[in-house]
Amino acid sequence: MELHTIWFIAIAVLFTGYFVLEGFDFGVGILLPVLGRDDRERRVVINTIGPVWDGNEVWLLTAGGAMFAAFPEWYASLFSGFYLALLLILLALIGRGVAFEYRGKREDPRWRARWDHVIVVGSLVPAFLWGVAFANIVRGVKLDLTGEYVGSLVDLLNPYALLGGLTTLALFTLHGAVFLALKTRGEIRVRANRLAVRLGTPTAVVAATFLAWTVFSVRGGTSATALAGLAAAALVAGLTAVHARREGWAFLGTTVTIGLAVAALFTSLYPNVLPSSLEDGLSLTVTNASSTPYTLRIMTWLAVAALPVVLAYQGWTYWVFRRRLGTADIPDSGAGRPAAATPRGR
């Protein structure tokens, strides 16, 4: 297998990890005012992702860095053509991170309420825009002979892309509800389970419609169709577990659903990395957009050395902070910063 193909797969894996892990972060942020009825409950909700949310974002940074180094033409065309959407995502992520840190700086309820709004918006905007962006990548955009995007913002807001945004928004919200049911106890757990049940049917309808549109009308293929079918089956299994109040199996179901859906998109995209909707010969592929073989070899050796350490550290973090949280774990004052989550046994 050629190195540029290996790095295409690596980038697909990195984005899959990002959407799976940051997906429930987005869902938790979106559901903060829905499942947190008062300040103490909202602090419980925030603390479920407190020890891990920033580590989850590292997957995006790594994916962007890998894209820049392995496929510079892809990186340049994507980040210039999708500049406004990616800028909005970046601003939303910055605002959300600041809100997590500053929410607990004052006891004033209005102060905390304003930062709660920032958390919600900072979670909702990326959850929607990532779907819009990746739907456009799969569908193809207007690239000229030099690989420059020559379309407009309106071209990116086409019906297929908007449906892609609704799909990621719905999946991440469901994923977050299931995660909260898995990570909390008491009334928050009960409400999260009930909400996950209500979200199940509309999420399944939207996701199935988008995947069917992708494989049958936009960019199909036997492998992509099979992966889309497996993603649908995983979602059904996850929703069945939700109804049975089996939170662990339900979370596994939504995790596998998101992972297989992203895999289906990348599979349908290959060997292109950014198709041109003007003419097939203008598309960026894993061949004409990649770096030199020497660069890819250096990247491969560095990745082989560093990846096990990073995965081991993040896995250890999830293990340490694995226990459920409830309102009894939240102190009366000192307030709501994510870092307040307590590891098991302390």
Q: Is the pLDDT of residue 292 over 50?
A: yes
Report yes or no: 327 and 186 within 8 Å, Cβ to Cβ: yes
Q: Is residue 213 part of a domain?
A: yes
pLDDT band for position 93 (cuts 50, 70, 90): very high
Question: 161-183: buried (b, 16+ CB within 10 Å) or exposed (e) per residue?
Answer: bebbbbbbbbbbbbbbbbbbbbb
Rounded mean pLDDT of 316-320? 92
344 inside domain: no
Q: What pLDDT digit, counting tens, does each position of 178-208 carry?
A: 999 999 999 999 999 999 999 999 999 999 9
Measured distance CA(277)–CA(142) in Å, rounded: 5
pLDDT at 345 over 50: no
Summarize the confidence of residues 119-140 as an average pLDDT.
95
Split into its structural domains, the chain has a count of 1
Per-residue model confidence (pLDDT) at position 153: 83
* pLDDT surpasses 60 at 318: yes
Mean pLDDT of all residues in 322-328 = 90
Residue carrying the six token digits 């990186």: 75
Mean pLDDT, rounded, of the chain: 90
- DSSP helix/strand/coil, 272: strand
Report the C-alpha gap between 184 and 139 in whole angstroms.
39
User: 149 pairs with which residues across the strands?
Assistant: 143
**DSSP character for 274?**
E
pLDDT at 91 over 80: yes
Give the helix/strand (H/E) hosting 213: helix 187-213
Domain that holds residue 63: 3-338
DSSP secondary structure of 151-180: --HHHHS-HHHHHHHHHHHHHHHHHHHHHH
* Residue 345, in any domain of the structure: no
Torsion of CA 341, 342, 343, 344, to 10 degrees: -130
- In whole angstroms, give the CA distance from residue 294 to residue 13: 22
Strand partners, 268: none
Query: What percentage of residues in the chain have a pLDDT greater than 70?
Result: 96
- Calpha distance 55→92 (Å, rounded): 17
Collect all residues with Cβ–Cβ distance below 8 Å to 201 and sequence separation of at least 6.
239
Cis bond leading into 271, ω under 30°? yes
What pLDDT is stored for residue 216 in this prediction? 85
Number of helices (H), then strands (E), in the chain: 13, 2
Assess if residue 198 is contained within a domain: yes
CA angle, 345 then 51 then 300, to 5°: 115
Tokens of 114: 């304003």
pLDDT of residue 278: 84
Q: Determine contact, residues 275/269, Cβ cutoff 8 Å.
A: yes
Q: Residue 283's closest CA among 264, 270, 266?
A: 270
Structure tokens at 202: 């509309």
> pLDDT by residue (tens digit) across 254-263?
999 999 999 9
| Residue 163 within any structural domain of the chain | yes
How many angstroms separate the CA atoms of 99 and 212, rounded? 38
Rounded to two decimals, what is the model's pTM? 0.91
Name the least confident of 44-48, 145-149, 156-160, 217-221. Answer: 217-221
User: At 280, is the pLDDT very low, low, confident or very high (cuts 50, 70, 90)?
Assistant: confident
Residue 221 belongs to some domain of the structure: yes
In a domain, 346, yes or no: no
What is the rounded CA–CA span in Å between residue 336 and residue 244? Answer: 32
Q: What DSSP assignment string belongs to 104-163?
A: GG---HHHHHHHHHHHHHHHHHHHHHHHHHHHHHHH-B-B-TTS-B---HHHHS-HHHHH
pLDDT at 333 over 80: no
Residue 241 lies in a domain: yes
Stretch 30-47: mean pLDDT, rounded? Answer: 93
